[in-house]
Amino acid sequence: MSKIQVMDEVLANKIAAGEVVERCMNVVKELVENAIDAKSTEIIIDLVDSGVKEIKITDNGIGMDKEDAVLAFSRHATSKLKRIDDLFHIDSLGFRGEALPSIASVSDILLKTSDGETGTEIHISGGKVLSIEPGELRRGTSILVRDLFYNTPVRLKYLKNLYTELSYISEYVNKMALSFPNIKFVLTNNGKTLLNTDGSNRLLKVIHDIYGLSVTKKMIELHGENDDYVISGYISYPEIQKSTKNAIILLVNGRYIKNNEINRIIADSYHTYMPPDKYPIVVLKIDVDPILIDVNVHPTKMDIKFSKMDTLKEILNKTIVAELEKLTLIPDASLETVVENNETKISTNYAPKVYEEFDAAKKEEEFASFEKMTLDFEKKNSYEVREESTLVFDDTKVEENVEEEIVRIKKMYPAGLVHGTYIIAENEDGMFIIDQHAANERINYEYYLEQLSNPKKVQTDLLIPITLEFPTEEYLILKQNFHLLEDMGFVFEEFGFQTIVIRTIPIWLPKGNEERAIQKIIEIVIDKESFDMKRFVHMVAATVACKASIKANDHIEKEDMEVLLERLRACKNPFTCPHGRPTIITYSKYDLEKLFKRSM
């Protein structure tokens, strides 16, 4: 007797469910995508116990007749692919025909659907059809999924607690609402409303509904295109920072995806604007000819392969950097406070609480107020296109009179030094607090970056050569990259097997710290696994700048403060140090008057 047999369909669906349905969020994802493909304008997601007990998705789409409703639960049955060529022109969210049979195999499902002419009601439990009956004629589809994983206890055991499961669902629905601002999304759990968008096709309004007014005011509209891609959406100011990449929402032809390479491109575009372990809030729509992408990579359809990633990287980086360079990015030091249990706390969490009560009228009023201030807000943060700074590093060649129209911040007048670290300055707009080390680090970073990017090979001979010795494994890596040191202007020779003697150095190395700077440069060369020249140059510039800058508690005179502030104003990005920390914060004149009760 043959040992190989055709697998039972119910068993096959249970195995497929292991790939398609890992948790409650996957059920919501598959059913919501079906509702969107059905041309719905309103989708309601009702959960009981975070979806573990019950998930109900109701839409007002085109619905199905009886024949399609029954066939929909057959494996690989779909209306979205008819021939093999369609795989290369996928414009729907679902297409594999695995979701419904997979979900039905591990739950109890009640489907109610109507195309406006006939209504059908189907009850399936554990993959077996229990009943098919006529149903109501309300156009659209309602799917009730109960007792998920009741017949696969191993998978049920690995579900997280209810709050975690709910957070996954909430995160996904938020992203779909951002993907389709023209669709009204309602999400409830145990009768509490977590999200309620209006479907007005205003993306900024959806951002407001999800993140609140504080974040909405700090979003920058984005638009760019080339021959292959059109990108649009919103990116946050660098001061709005998240510790994970979850706030980077990528939408390719309307499909929410996760792509580490695009996330890295976006993070690199914020280089020096924020710390390397922080990420902005981004809602980015990428429109592309379906022939240039492959969405059939994974059963969850959450990743995509791009055939022209270089052109996408170019347009993304160029557009984001251009928008950031238009803005005045001085954080406001005044923080909102909240009172909890008679204790005053600083409010710093912009993410919505999962169980926060939804007040639609209040949110609409907030957004209406925000829309009124948008024109003034944009005008306030606009600036004239700046030219390249003529600032040089040499103390004898400081540009004293920087033209007002070529800088991103107004002239500031120092008043004194606090704690030996923070310069207090003022102008007609308010009071400014400048971190002297971060400011000097930014100035030096841009100087060294210019020197490294455009090496002039201006060198100086050392009176006493510097001898450096390395372990064998480090020396072998360094020897492979000797050309990098030569390109920067170093003249050296091997002295034995594990030692080099440096006789000539580039003139831009910080005086008095030459040996330490050289050691840091060589450490970067040795530590880099996959070498990228551009990143290397940035790392060297940042490292050398840090070592060459004045430190906290280094007392400087008022004349030095004036020079430092003028140099900072001449920088391309005067708002952050190379590591993304702010160089300057401000209290506006209004903030100060409010603090001292002069303005109520």
Instruction: Identify residue 558 by its one-letter amino acid code.
Output: K
- State the Cα–Cα distance between residues 440 and 438, nearest whole angstrom: 6
Which neighbouring-strand residues pair with 257?
250
Three-state DSSP at 173 gives helix
Write down the mean pLDDT value for the chain: 78
Distance (Å, rounded) from C-alpha 357 to C-alpha 375?
Answer: 31
Q: Is 168 helix (H, G, I), strand (E, B) or coil?
A: helix
Q: Say if residue 311 is in the same domain as residue 403.
A: no
Which pLDDT score, from 0 to 100, does residue 423 have? 93
Task: Kindly state whether residues 229 and 344 are assigned to the same domain.
Answer: yes
Using DSSP, state whether 8 is helix, strand or coil. Answer: coil
At 289 the pLDDT is 85
Which residues, in sequence order, are CB contacts of 67 under 8 Å at separation 6+?
A: none
Q: How does strand 42-48 pair with strand 184-189? A: parallel
Structural domain includes residue 4 = no
Give the number of other Cβ atoms within 10 Å of residue 443's Cβ: 25
User: What value does the mean pLDDT take over residues 210-223?
Assistant: 89
Phi first, then psi, for residue 38 (nearest 5°) are -85, 15
* Residue at which a domain ends, from 148, 181, 196: 196
pLDDT for residue 46 is more than 70: yes
d(CA 295, CA 276): 30
CA-based radius of gyration for the chain: 30
Residue 3: inside a domain: no
CA-wise closest residue to 148 among 175, 109, 195: 109
Opening angle at CA 346, ends 360 and 245, nearest 5: 70
- Residues 86 and 218 grouped into a single domain: no
What pLDDT, on a 0 to 100 scale, did the predictor assign at position 15?
A: 46
- Report whether pLDDT(324) > 70: yes
Confidence tier at 239 by pLDDT (50, 70, 90): confident
Displacement of CA 469 from its chain's centroid (Å): 42
475 and 538 both lie in a single domain: yes
Residue 229 CA to residue 220 CA, distance in Å, equals 20
The DSSP code sequence of 13-60 is: HHHHHHHH-SSHHHHHHHHHHHHHHTT-SEEEEEEEGGGTSEEEEEE-
Residue 4 gets which letter from DSSP? -
pLDDT in tens, 528-550: 555 566 777 787 788 888 878 88
Q: Where are the beta strands (DSSP E) in 324-401?
A: 337-340, 343-346
Phi-psi category of 140—alpha, beta or left, where left has phi over 0 and alpha has psi -120 to 50?
Answer: left
Give Cβ neighbours of residue 310 (< 8 Å, ≥ 6 apart): none
First-residue to last-residue Cα distance in the chain: 90
**With bands split at pLDDT 50, 70 and 90, how would you rate the model's confidence at 100?**
confident
d(CA 524, CA 540): 7
Q: Say what the pLDDT of residue 2 is.
A: 56
404: helix, coil or strand?
Answer: helix
Q: Residue 295's closest CA among 252, 246, 262, 264?
A: 252
Residues 225 and 189 in one domain: no
Domain span including residue 237: 202-382
Are 403 and 410 contacting, i.e. CB atoms less than 8 angstroms apart?
A: no
Q: Across 89-93, 134-138, 526-530, 540-544, which has the greatest mean pLDDT?
A: 134-138
Assigned domain for 470 exists: yes
pLDDT value, residue 544: 80
Contact 578, 275 (CB under 8 A): no
pTM, entire model: 0.67
Three-class DSSP labels, 409-456: CCCCEEEEEECCCEEEEEECCEEEEEEHHHHHHHHHHHHHHHHHHCCC
Categorize the per-residue pLDDT at 318 as very low, low, confident or very high, splitting at 50, 70 and 90: very high
Asked if 544 contacts 517 with a C-beta cutoff of 8 angstroms, the reply is yes
298 & 443 share domain: no
Can you tell me whether residue 378 is helix, strand or coil?
helix
Question: Which CATH number do you get for residue 99?
Answer: 3.30.565.10
Q: Does 494 share its domain with 405?
A: yes
Residues 336 and 306 in one domain: yes
Same structural domain, 423 and 500? yes
- Give me the CATH number covering residue 338: 3.30.230.10
Among the candidates 382, 402, 429, a domain finishes at: 382
Q: What pLDDT score was predicted for residue 194?
A: 92
Give bridge partners of residue 131 from the DSSP assignment.
Answer: 123
Helices vs. strands in the chain: H and E counts, helices first: 18, 24
Cβ atoms within 10 Å, residue 397: 9
Q: Do the domain assignments include residue 373?
A: yes
Q: Count up the domains in the chain and report the number.
A: 3
- Among 265, 262, 331, which Cα is nearest to 303's? 262
Provide the pLDDT for residue 354. 40
Per-residue pLDDT of 453-470, as tens digits, reads 776 667 888 888 999 888
Residue by residue, DSSP assigns 269-312 as: HTBTTB-TT-B--EEEEEEE-GGGEE-TTSTT----EES-HHHH
Contact in structure between 390 and 203 (CB atoms under 8 Å): no
Which of 300-304, 388-392, 404-408, 572-576: highest mean pLDDT? 572-576
Instruction: Give me the CATH number covering residue 511.
Output: 3.30.1540.20
Q: Is 398 a domain residue? A: yes
386 pLDDT above the threshold of 50: no
Q: Are 191 and 210 in a shared domain? A: no
Same domain, 64 and 161: yes
Distance (Å, whole) CA 112 – CA 299: 26
Percent of the chain at pLDDT exceeding 90: 25
Please tell me the predicted confidence (pLDDT) of residue 266.
92
Q: Which of 581, 22, 3 is nearest to 298 (CA)?
A: 22
**500, 525 contact by CB (below 8 A):** no
10 vs 530: CA distance, rounded Å: 48
Residue 147 pLDDT more than 60?
yes
Residue where one domain finishes, among candidates 319, 348, 382 = 382
Backbone torsion region of residue 206, taken as left when φ is above 0, otherwise alpha when ψ lies between -120 and 50, otherwise beta: alpha
The reply to whether 368 and 478 lie within a common domain is no
